[in-house]
Amino acid sequence: MSQYILEMNSISKEFVGVKALSNVNFQVEKGEIHCLIGENGAGKSTLMKVLSGVYPFGTYEGDIVYEGNVQQFGKISDSVKAGIAIIYQELALFPDLSVYENIFTGNEMKRGGVIDWNETILQAKKLLQKVKLDVNPETLVKDLGVGKRQLIEIAKALSKDVKLLILDEPTAALNEDDSENLLKLLKELKTQGITCIMISHKLKEVISIADKATVLRDGQTICTLDATKKEVTESIIIKNMVGREIEDIYPKRPKREKGERILELHDWTAYDPAIGRNVVKNVNLHVNKGEIVGISGLMGSGRTELALSIFGNAKGYKLQGDLMLNGNLTNLKHPNEAIKAGIAYVTEDRKGDGLFLLQDIKSNISAANLQGISSKGIINDNEEIIIADKYKKSLYIKASSIEQEVGKLSGGNQQKVSLGKWLFVGPKLLILDEPTRGIDVGAKFEIYTVMNELIEAGMSIIMISSELGEVLGMSDRIYVMAQNELKGELTIEDASQETIMELATQ
């Protein structure tokens, strides 16, 4: 008998227009902790969704061999029955239900269809202790923060008779302590014989916990590294993950004189009444004309919130501190005021809150600046076409025409449409939030090129990114955030993967 609990052989999975996985091979031994790593969009989540039956048998190619048998999971509950539990990247919880109900939904403690709530609560308490989460099981999940929700997901997975536990970026939203607890927990589970697959972007974690690590890149398996052979090290991982010379991807731009300060934040704090805590704490930063300022940090470190608080306080936080634009104290109350003041914000979630997916390219590009193509409130369709065509060309948007529905474009092209929308506003300061997430290398390069052109034209850019390479390759200066605070500022000369990660994991 093989020592593998799981073998995924030649798995291929295609979405409309995107080949997410091609011939991926992936083996996991019984009782090990196996990390799955790779850049955004490498196909990690997709591979796990294939395994768990979210993409049922028949929608992918290749074989899944689990506990020695070829499995054909037609639906999620099939994989659950086989002892596979998965915690998805986008948490799958029920905000209006209590903690104990969440833990046991889909796996109720029941006798003939009737739920034994006492037993449920008791077990929930035990599970909560197990994951070291100290909350009343009767609390509603919507009243908990993301970190605690993550632990509830783990408790939920443990509530099933789990043999293979899959965690998709479980620590992304956790602080240091919580992360450490979680890793300890995983090691404990290992001693109980539970096999674990963990997807993570945090290399330190991977190094500290992994028995093996498999690297995926562009939908393909690159290699599997073995800790016992001392292969799981940062340098080897990064080499395999990125797999290309940085000079190739990040176009050079001529060094420029430092311009005047166009944005300054002093003791900037944002309190989110919806979740009842500060999402940005005491931030001091500045942006000069004609530079790219990178903001790095782990997922959930508060970078998006910082951007939203600058961009006309789009989420209605309670703000403290000063925001200066071109040296003047400014108070922006709505995104449209921010736009008028010359700020543009390209959101990280382009499908969720960036684009109008059912509308065509030209309406999307003009959406934030209809004034620019209209007089007295009446739109000049022809101008709109001109503008849209212009951005289609200058941003290398690949589409049959500017009348194509945006929802049907590939991710990279969607991102360029989103970028085009904001360039058309003619901003002085462009905030890019994860501008290249889920985008292929070619498109990335094109976006970087555009960024350089914009800088040449005198614009300033704040680039929020989780990809270290991108931050290092593109920025003039780098701020690092962790736990909703700025942990430090680095000049590009001082910055390296190590220095950034050190600050980010503080």
Partner 1 sequence: MSFIKEVRTLVSENIRDYGMYIALAVIILTFTVMTNGLFISSRNISNLLDSAGYIAVLAVGMTLVIVIRHIDLSVGYAAGFLGAVAAILLTQAGVSMFITIPIILVLGVATGLLNGVLVAKIGIPSFVATLAGMLIFRGALLQVTEKTGTIIIRDDMFNAIGNGYIPSLMEVNGLHLLSLLVGMVGIIFYIYSEMNTRKNKMKYNFEVVSTGIFILKLVFVSAIIAYVTWILAGYNGFSWTVIVMLAVVLLYHFLTTKTVLGRHIYAVGSNPEAAHLSGINVKKITYIVFGSMGMLAALSGILFTARLQSATTTAGTLFELDAIAAAYVGGVSSAGGVGKVTGAIIGAIVMASLTNGMNLLGVGISYQYMIRGGVLAGAVIFDVMTRGRK
360 binds partner 1 (CB under 8 A): no
Least distance (Å) between residue 163 CB and Mg ion: 23
Distance of CA 298 to the CA centre of its chain: 9
Q: Judged by CB under 8 A, which stretch of 74-82, 182-190, 205-213, 463-471 contacts partner 1?
A: 74-82
Tell me the C-alpha distance between 398 and 300, whole Å: 32
The residue type found at 296 is S
| DSSP, res 57 | T
| DSSP, res 141 | G
Site string for Mg ion, 293-332 (x = CB under 5 A): -----------x----------------------------
Site for partner 1 in 404-433 (CB under 8 A): 421
Given candidates 27, 32, 45, 360, which one binds Mg ion under the rule CB under 5 A?
45
- For 100-127, the DSSP string reads HHHHHTTS--EETTEE-HHHHHHHHHHH
**Region label for 112, one of left (φ > 0), alpha (ψ between -120 and 50) or beta (otherwise):** left
Q: How many residues bind partner 1 (CB under 8 A)?
A: 59
SS (H, E, C) 361-408: HHHHHHCCCHHHHEECCEECHHHHHHHHHHHHHHCCCCCCCCCCEHHH
437 binds partner 1 (CB under 8 A): no
Tell me the C-alpha distance between 352 and 382, whole Å: 29
43 binds ligand ATP (CB under 6 A): yes
Given candidates 65, 242, 379, 441, which one binds partner 1 under the rule CB under 8 A?
379
The residue type found at 25 is N
- Structure token pair of residue 464: 């929020």
For 461, phi and psi rounded to 5 degrees? -130, 135
Given candidates 70, 92, 115, 146, which one binds ligand ATP under the rule CB under 6 A?
146
Least distance (Å) between residue 408 CB and ligand ATP: 11
Least distance (Å) between residue 211 CB and ligand ATP: 21
Distance of CA 341 to the CA centre of its chain: 29
Q: How many secondary structure helices (H) and strands (E) does the chain include?
A: 17, 24
279 binds ligand ATP (CB under 6 A): yes
386 binds partner 1 (CB under 8 A): yes
- The helix/strand/coil state of 316 is coil
- Structure token pair of residue 385: 């076409």
Placement of tokens 């003041």 in the chain:
341
Tell me the C-alpha distance between 115 and 99, whole Å: 15
Q: Tell me which of ligand ATP, partner 1, Mg ion, none is bound by residue 58, counting a contact when its beta carbon lies within the kind-specific cut-off of 5 to 8 angstroms.
A: none
Site string for Mg ion, 408-447 (x = CB under 5 A): ----------------------------------------
Alpha helices (runs of H) in 30-145, residue ranges in sequence order: 44-52, 76-81, 99-104, 117-130
Q: Judged by CB under 6 A, which stretch of 43-51, 321-329, 398-406, 444-452 contacts ligand ATP?
A: 43-51
Least distance (Å) between residue 41 CB and Mg ion: 8
38 binds ligand ATP (CB under 6 A): yes
Given candidates 53, 290, 354, 411, which one binds ligand ATP under the rule CB under 6 A?
411
358 binds partner 1 (CB under 8 A): yes
Tell me the C-alpha distance between 161 and 313, whole Å: 46
Site for ligand ATP in 157-176 (CB under 6 A): 173
- What is the contact surface with ligand ATP in residues (CB under 6 A)? 15, 18, 20, 38, 40-46, 89, 145-147, 173, 275, 279, 297, 299-305, 348, 411, 434, 438, 466
Chain residues that interact with partner 1, rule: CB under 8 A: 54, 75-77, 80, 88, 91-97, 101, 105-106, 108, 110, 113-115, 117-119, 121-122, 311-312, 314, 334-336, 338-339, 345, 347, 352-359, 363, 366-368, 370-371, 374, 377-379, 381-382, 385-386, 421
